[in-house]
Amino acid sequence: MRMHTRKESRRQFLRAAGGVAAGALGASIIGCNAGGKEQQASANMQKPAPQSKRPTHATVVVARDPGMWKGETLDAARVQALLMKAVRELSGEKSDAKAWSRYFRTTDRVAVKVNCLPGRRLSTTPELTQGIIAGLRAAGVAPDRIFVFDRTGAELERAGFQLNLSGSGPRVFGTDAQGMGYENELSLFGEVGSRVSRIVSRYSDALISAPVLKDHDLCGLSGCMKNMFGAIHNPNKMHPDNCDPYIADCFSLPEFSGRARLFICDATLAQYHGGPGYKPAHAWKFAGVIVSDDPVALDAVCLDIIEKKRREKGLPTLAKEGRPAKFIKTAADDAHRLGAASLKNITIRNLNA
């Protein structure tokens, strides 16, 4: 029988104490469930859902409405209407309630991962995010069970979001909020070993990835799978070799792949060169929303849109510039099976307002 040393016992005690403290502080942010009890984080945090294997065929809805832009201002009502139309088309349902209920239950706690690193002009917009919240509400998800998050509260605020840690309505905060942070233990898949944001691992049952339509200076595309780099503690370790296989491996972590239900790309303002930071000379008003329940297919379609825009502007392909989006094909291989990578296996439905 192996004896535990005093040093080991102290380490275990501190780890346990840290988990309890995080849970208590987190509860003050997350709040209580409908039954008046603390969210059941302790029961769920070590039991991530199993990795889902997605079909090899997929549907992506590309919805556009040039009228959403009023000069340099977005019309929030038109953005929301376009999103609702896109989700109805994807789901095959005629009502918003039935459409969103295809992906979310009233009992779900839903984390919405936005992308706010570039600042106000090229981040997931508050206008689209409000549309996502409206869709979740149509499915019967209570406001205090919706969590909009990114790495830090400061990034969210720079992107135009108002933080809400404990007030009424959906919560909006960063992983750096008091009581949140990252898990103590590594989650592992392939080449990736990362500590996942507790917002996902402890306080959510379902996940929406809501990135922006933009290129990336290393991996070609900053899409819905790479968006999960903002929910791990060590994204700086994931960028060699065009981020391949790191993007696919990261998304395959059970905390992400087991919870992800819907993927909504903010294509109101897009960028085809110079990303992921905002470069106004290469940005254009795509005036759209791109939706799928397949993360690989959505990224493949977003890549195709960017490549077409680059050709229009006389630029070489991303691969010729040395930044191919290799991770998309990797995400569809036998080791990952996250979705459909080939446009031949993707049905694209184009909608106009």
Q: Which residues pair with 174 in a beta bridge?
A: 150
Structure-token match 């040393």, residue found: 5
pLDDT of res. 4: 34
- Higher pLDDT: 45 or 316? It is 316
Structure-token match 């439905």, residue found: 349
CA 303, CA 286: separation in Å to the nearest integer? 14
pLDDT of res. 55: 74
Report whether 307 contacts 328 (CB < 8 A).
no
Report whether 258 contacts 48 (CB < 8 A).
yes
pLDDT of res. 28: 56
DSSP 188-234: EETTEEEPBBHHHHTT-SEEEEE-EEEEETTTEE--TTGGGGGGBS-
Report whether 111 contacts 147 (CB < 8 A).
yes
Per-residue pLDDT of 188-230, as tens digits, reads 999 999 999 999 999 999 999 999 999 999 999 999 999 999 9
CA 127, CA 118: separation in Å to the nearest integer? 17
Provide the CB-side half-sphere exposure for 112 (13 A, CA). Answer: 31
pLDDT of res. 31: 60
What is the band of 26 on the pLDDT scale with cuts at 50, 70, 90?
low
Helix (H, G, I), strand (E, B) or coil at 187: strand
Residue 15 has pLDDT above 80, yes or no: no
* Domains located in the chain, CATH noted: 55-352 (3.40.50.11440)
Per-residue pLDDT of 52-102, as tens digits, reads 567 779 999 999 999 999 999 999 999 999 999 999 999 999 999 999 999
| Residue 12 vs residues 8, 224, 264, 292: alpha-carbon distances, Å | 6, 36, 41, 43
| Residue 221 vs residues 19, 121, 158, 164, 224: alpha-carbon distances, Å | 36, 18, 22, 30, 9
Q: At what angle do helices 126-138 and 76-91 cross, to 10 degrees?
A: 50
Mean pLDDT of the chain: 89
Structure-token match 């933009």, residue found: 214
What is the band of 37 on the pLDDT scale with cuts at 50, 70, 90?
very low
pLDDT of res. 293: 98
CA 287, CA 133: separation in Å to the nearest integer? 20
Positive or negative, the CA dihedral 54, 58, 62, 63 is: negative
Residue in 282, 348, 328 with CA at minimum distance from that of residue 63 = 348
